[in-house]
Structures are given as C-alpha cells and as structure tokens.
Amino acid sequence: MPDVGWGFIGASTIAREHMVAAVRAQPGHDVVAVASARRERAEAFAAEHGIARAYDSVHALLADQAVKAVYVSTTNERHCEQVLAAAAAGKHVLCEKPLALSVDDAQRMVAACRDAGVVMATNHHLRNAATHRKLRELVAQGAIGRPLYARVFHAVHLRPLVQGWRIDRPQAGGGAILDIVVHDADVLRFVFQAEPVRALAMCQSGVMAREGIEDGAMAVFELDNGVLAQVHAAFTVPHAGTGIEIHGDRGSLIGRGVMTAHPVGDVLLRDAQGEHAVPVVHENLYAGGVARFSEAMRGAGRPAATGEDGVRSLAAALAVAEACRTGASAPAGVHMRPLSDAA
Ligand code: NDP
C-alpha cells in the first residue's frame, strides 16, 4: 500500500506520457486507480501501466479508500464537475489546465476544495521548468533593470494524436487559447510576479481547426507592473521554435526552446557586458509539480500553481478570447471569491 494512492480521472495522453511516471517518481506515491467514461479504455490504461483498479465512473473511483489524491486530465468541459465531486469526497486535487471553461466554474472548484480542506493545484507544468524558475529569479534580482516588455513564442504543430477534440469540439473547450495561451498567461504571471489587467488579441481559424475554433492567436497583455507582453500561440506552425524574451531597461533575458513539456532549452542574459549563458540544472517538469503538490499535502509548502493561479491564468486566457471576439481590449484580471462560496 503506497503512502499516497492517486486516482487518475481520465485515461488521457498527458496521463500516459507524463503523469503516471511523475507520480511514481515521488517516494511513497503510486497510481492505484484510473477512471474513464469507457470501461475498456480504463482497463486498457490500467493494464498498460500496472494500475490495480479500473473504473468506468468517477464516483466509483472516489469511493475507493486507497485514493487520497486525484489527477484530473479529462477533456476540459468535464474538469469542473469532477473536481467538485473529488472535493466533496475529501480527495486532494491536481487538475489540468484550463481548470474550466468559465472563471465562475473555476472559482467554484477552488472554493469547494478550500471548504473541504483539501489541496488544490493546477498542472501549469512550465512553472517547474528550471529555465522559467531562473528567469523569475533573475527578473526579481534586477538582472535586467526595470522589466518593460516580454515576447512569448509558443506557435507549435499539434501532433495528430492530440488533435481530436482540440480542433473539432468547441463544447469540449478546444482551441489554441484554452490550450496554449492559458499556459503563456501563467508563465507571464509566474516570471513577473504580476497580474494581467487587460488583453488585446486577434485569432486565426480554419487552417487546422474547424471554422469557429481558433488554431492560432496573437495577443498583447498589459500587466499590473506596466509590462507589455506579446504572445503568439498556434497549433499550425511546425518550424517556428519556442521561447520567451524578457526585455528591461538594463538587459534582456532570452529563454530559447523553453515553452515545452520537456526539461530542455537554455537561458541567455544580454546586457552592457555582452551575452552570457546562464547555467540551469534541468529537471522533469511534471515530477517537480507532483513533488510540490506532495509537500503541500503534508502541509509543508504550496503547489507550484495553486487553484487560484489556475483561475487567474484562465481569466487572462478568456480575456484573449473575448478580445478576439469583440476586437476591443478585454479586462484580464479577476476578483477571487471568498471562502464558503462553492454553491
Ligand atoms: P486526450 O484527448 O488524450 O484525453 C482526454 C480525454 O479524451 C480522456 O480523458 C479520455 O476520456 C478521452 N479519450 C482518450 N482517448 C480516447 C479515444 N481514443 N477515443 C475517445 N476518447 C478518448 O487529451 P490530452 O491528454 O491531450 O489532454 C487532457 C487534458 O490535459 C486537457 O485538459 C489538456 O488541456 C491537458 N493537458 C495539459 C498539458 C500540460 O502540460 N499541463 C499537456 C497536454 C494536455 P476518458 O477519460 O473518459 O476515457
């Protein structure tokens, strides 16, 4: 019996490729159950990963006494209901981004977990990248002077394996904004320790995604520290490469190849002394997230991205969607709901 048994809600690609191993990398943690809407998918996933129990309902998984924490990685429209049920069952919750399809639902999820006294975290994995942690540290130390601008390069080509609902089911919360821009907003919040206040944006669709679902977006956020941040996110661009640039009045930081699921990429500092490589020690982004979640469960720390972070980053992404729709700037901040407002 592991110290911490995890129940996986969702027999998903991210669970298969990253999260089973991330949980098992944590001493005393194991995945003991998986639930899928389809029994055969749950059973196949369990067999593939040596998971003891497979369920065809979330409620059956939540009734499993060996499950202390759940990881929710179903399609986006299911996160809210499943997290509310997990909180009601007293399970700690690590939920995929975007937390929900609306800020209101996301706030209900956070409030329900707080009221139930369970830890809630959002799987914004990029906060666990050694590169992003170094960028945050250098910005805070004043390495570039006063931060003024950022540019996030996150135009990628969506693998056929994960195209599905992302490009053809608007009701599942597909599209590049909820899939990618939400991460970019979270990275900006993390690196600058500042909040987006408004967004301007334009979108593209119909290249890969069904007409009406954006498969690319260009946005500009204004942050509450005065920084202007440009974001380019797309499903349709195979050769752009990813990265982030942060420009201040005394220097610039360049993160090359860093907007990814993998522990790769490098950081450069360019200033009056020239260009210097900044050393980073890479570590698995998802294992790092589970490690921090585990500390929070022991009452010894905070998750890398809390539920509240998930709400704020979702609000920023939805502001981009709103700005695309209206052509006007949209407010990107959010007032967090007080406790005991989960109804
Ligand atoms: P998948 O499409 O692989 O899985 C999502 C759900 O689709 C599964 O839970 C499953 O439902 C269903 N499903 C899986 N395989 C099939 C199939 N063959 N036929 C029909 N339905 C199927 O999604 P991803 O793993 O790409 O994404 C899942 C979640 O994780 C999303 O919220 C996404 O935003 C997030 N994500 C986060 C990442 C990160 O780095 N933080 C990276 C990638 C995704 P059921 O469980 O009912 O079987």
Closest CA to 14 of 91, 125, 118, 101: 125
Mean predicted confidence (pLDDT) in 195-206:
96
Count Cβ atoms below 10 Å from residue 306 Cβ, excluding itself.
18
State the SS3 of 228-290.
EEEEEEECECCCCCCEEEEEECCEEEEEECCCCCCCCCEEEEEECCEEEEECCCCCCHHHHHH
pLDDT tens digits, one per residue of 145-174: 999 999 999 999 999 999 999 999 989 999
Asked whether 75 lines ligand 1 (CB < 6 A), one says yes
Nearest CA to ligand 1 atom 28: 73
Q: Residue 279: which residues within 8 A CB-CB, separation 6 or more?
A: none
- Tell me the CA–centroid distance for residue 197 and ligand 1, in Å: 31
- Tell me the CA–centroid distance for residue 221 and ligand 1, in Å: 28
Cα–Cα distance, 296 to 319 (Å, whole number): 30
Asked whether 44 lines ligand 1 (CB < 6 A), one says no
pLDDT at residue 342, rounded to an integer: 46
Nearest CA to ligand 1 atom 13: 12
Detail the DSSP E strand segments found in 36-87.
53-55, 69-72
- CATH architecture for the domain at 129-279: 2-Layer Sandwich (3.30)
Whether 139 contacts 114, CB under 8 Å: no
> How many percent of the chain have pLDDT more than 90?
95
pLDDT reading at 339 higher than 90: no
Closest CA to 150 of 204, 202, 190: 190
pLDDT at residue 212, rounded to an integer: 87
Mean predicted confidence (pLDDT) in 222-239:
98
Asked whether 240 lines ligand 1 (CB < 6 A), one says no
Residue of 73, 132, 286 to test ligand 1 pocket, by largest number of atoms within 8 Å of CB: 73
Contacts of residues 131-135 at CB distance under 8 Å and 24 or more positions apart, as own/partner, are: 131/255, 131/258, 131/265, 131/266, 131/267, 131/280, 131/282, 132/187, 132/190, 132/191, 132/244, 132/255, 132/258, 134/267, 134/278, 134/280, 135/191, 135/244, 135/246, 135/253, 135/255, 135/267
Cα–Cα distance, 182 to 98 (Å, whole number): 7
Q: Would strands 251-256 and 266-271 be described as parallel, antiparallel, or unpaired?
A: antiparallel
The ligand 1 atom nearest the CA atom of 126: 40
Asked whether 162 lines ligand 1 (CB < 6 A), one says yes
- In this prediction the pTM is 0.96
Asked whether 122 lines ligand 1 (CB < 6 A), one says no
pLDDT tens digits, one per residue of 301-323: 999 999 999 999 999 999 999 99
The ligand 1 atom nearest the CA atom of 9: 46
What separation, in Å, do the N-terminal and C-terminal C-alpha atoms of the chain show?
35
- CATH architecture for the domain at 4-125+287-304: 3-Layer(aba) Sandwich (3.40)
Of residues 2 and 303, more confidence is placed in: 303
Q: Would strands 243-248 and 251-256 be described as parallel, antiparallel, or unpaired?
A: antiparallel
Cα–Cα distance, 237 to 213 (Å, whole number): 16
pLDDT tens digits, one per residue of 81-105: 999 999 999 999 999 999 999 999 9
Residue of 8, 9, 12 to test ligand 1 pocket, by largest number of atoms within 8 Å of CB: 12
202: part of which helix (H) or strand (E)? strand 196-205
Cα–Cα distance, 256 to 268 (Å, whole number): 8
Nearest CA to ligand 1 atom 22: 12
The ligand 1 atom nearest the CA atom of 183: 41
- Tell me the CA–centroid distance for residue 229 and ligand 1, in Å: 29
pLDDT at residue 100, rounded to an integer: 98
Nearest CA to ligand 1 atom 42: 14
Tell me how long the chain is: 343
Mean predicted confidence (pLDDT) in 207-213:
90
Asked whether 123 lines ligand 1 (CB < 6 A), one says yes
Q: Which amino acid is at 196?
A: P
Asked whether 38 lines ligand 1 (CB < 6 A), one says yes
Nearest CA to ligand 1 atom 29: 73
pLDDT at residue 227, rounded to an integer: 98
**pLDDT category of residue 1 using cuts at 50, 70 and 90:** confident
- Tell me the CA–centroid distance for residue 343 and ligand 1, in Å: 27
Mean predicted confidence (pLDDT) in 245-252:
98
Q: Where are the domains of the chain?
A: 4-125+287-304, 129-279
Asked whether 41 lines ligand 1 (CB < 6 A), one says yes
As a whole number, the mean pLDDT across the chain is 96
pLDDT at residue 192, rounded to an integer: 98
DSSP state of 335: P
pLDDT at residue 343, rounded to an integer: 43
pLDDT at residue 338, rounded to an integer: 63
**pLDDT category of residue 336 using cuts at 50, 70 and 90:** confident
**Rg value, the chain, Cα:** 20
